[in-house]
Amino acid sequence: MENKKKVALITGAGGYIGGECAVTLAKEGCAVAVCDINEATVTKTVCRIEENGGTAKGYVMDVTDSKSVDAVVEKIVKDFGRLDISIHVAGGSARVAGPNARYLPLIEQEDYVIDKVLKINLYGAFWVSRAAARVMVKQGEGGRILNFSSLVAYNGLRCCTDYAASKGGVISMTKALAKELGEYGITVNAVAPGVVERPDVPETEYTFKSNFLGKKCLAEDVANLVEFLSSDKARFITGQTYVIDGGRGLAMKASD
């Protein structure tokens, strides 16, 4: 796939980290299929890429619905002629279940919240990985599949058992799929961010204190890792999950 313009599909590309990944890959010369359930934010990311002189097209995709995923992936291949990179950023914790969903201990949590969190984070990674892998295998030129996990998958988090389990599932799925797709030259990896700064979340001291570098993790930091893992330079890396947290996961309660 060295000399052709690569085509990258990114889910959650209307969101904060996904948007940054889309802009970064477009700057690297990829044509980007910007996918998200939120049409307005899809348009925003496509505009950001086009303003920078990049190539992008927007698609409304619900990652919890395998039929929606299959139909959009088919459309992307029709529009761009190929698919080389598939990055699955769509996800989130309890708030993805709706305005009334709350972070609660498991013994108090409601069925629909657990259901939705697992469907978006874990099933979403399944449906998009499967659809993308089918195209890449048929294409016969290798490819890159990249899932989004979280530091919470390793360390757990109170009132987020659903999120922790879904992101842990993503790590296991990444390993198993890497074994299945290696013979086709398709690598499968995951990234696991700690706390990433968001413009819509009020700045708290906690953001700085939560890692050993004393700096905020920006969406660009995550996008840079995603760019590397999506590139030819990462051709020998597969089945791995990369934590990007400024060392936050090294901390032990009440002592460093």
Ligand X SMILES: NC(=O)c1ccc[n+]([C@@H]2O[C@H](COP(=O)([O-])OP(=O)(O)OC[C@H]3O[C@@H](n4cnc5c(N)ncnc54)[C@H](O)[C@@H]3O)[C@@H](O)[C@H]2O)c1
* Only segment of 15-23, 46-54, 136-144, 178-186 that touches ligand X (CB under 6 A): 15-23
Among 150, 174, 211, 230, binds ligand X (CB under 6 A): 150
Distance CA 75, CA 171 (A): 28
> Is residue 249 at the binding interface for ligand X, with CB under 6 A as the rule?
no
The smaller minimum CB distance to ligand X, of residues 84 and 221, is found at: 221
In the bound complex, what is the minimum distance in angstroms from residue 125's beta carbon to ligand X? Answer: 9
Distance in angstroms (rounded) separating the CA atoms of residues 153 and 164: 5
The token pair that represents 219 in the structure block: 């969406």
Give the residue carrying structure tokens 């080389």. Answer: 84
CB of 48 to ligand X, least distance (A): 13
Q: Nearest CA to 15 among 32, 36, 30? A: 36
Neighbours of 62 (CB within 10 A): 19
Q: Is 195 in the site for ligand X (CB under 6 A)?
A: yes
CA distances from 126 to 80, 177, 217, 239 (A): 23, 10, 27, 15
Binding residues for ligand X restricted to 114-143, rule: CB under 6 A: 120
Dihedrals phi, psi of 253, to nearest 5 degrees? -55, 130
User: Tokens 């195209």 label which residue?
Assistant: 135
CB of 96 to ligand X, least distance (A): 5
Interface with ligand X, residue 63, by CB under 6 A: yes
Q: Nearest CA to 201 among 226, 219, 214, 225?
A: 219
Residues 96-115 that bind ligand X (CB under 6 A): 96
Nearest to 157 by CA among 203, 93, 101: 93
Tokens of 123: 């099933």
Name the segment binding ligand X (CB under 6 A); options: 78-86, 191-199, 202-210, 227-235: 191-199
Whether residue 154 lies in the annotated active site: no
Q: Does 162 bind ligand X (CB under 6 A)?
A: no
Nearer to ligand X, 32 or 120 (CB): 120
> Assign residue 201 a region: left if phi > 0, alpha if psi is -120 to 50, beta otherwise?
beta
Question: With respect to ligand X, which residue has the nearer C-beta, 146 or 232?
Answer: 146
Tokens of 162: 């659903």
Among 196, 225, 229, 243, binds ligand X (CB under 6 A): 196
Binding test (CB under 6 A) with ligand X, winner from 64, 109, 129, 189: 64
Structure tokens at 142: 């290798």
Q: Which residues in the 27-56 window bind ligand X by CB under 6 A?
A: 36-38, 41
Q: Which of 123, 163, 184, 242 is catalytic?
A: 163
Q: So which residues are the catalytic ones? A: 163
Query: Which spans of this chain sit near ligand X (rule: CB under 6 A)?
Result: 11-12, 14-18, 36-38, 41, 61-64, 89-92, 96, 120, 148, 150, 193, 195-196, 198
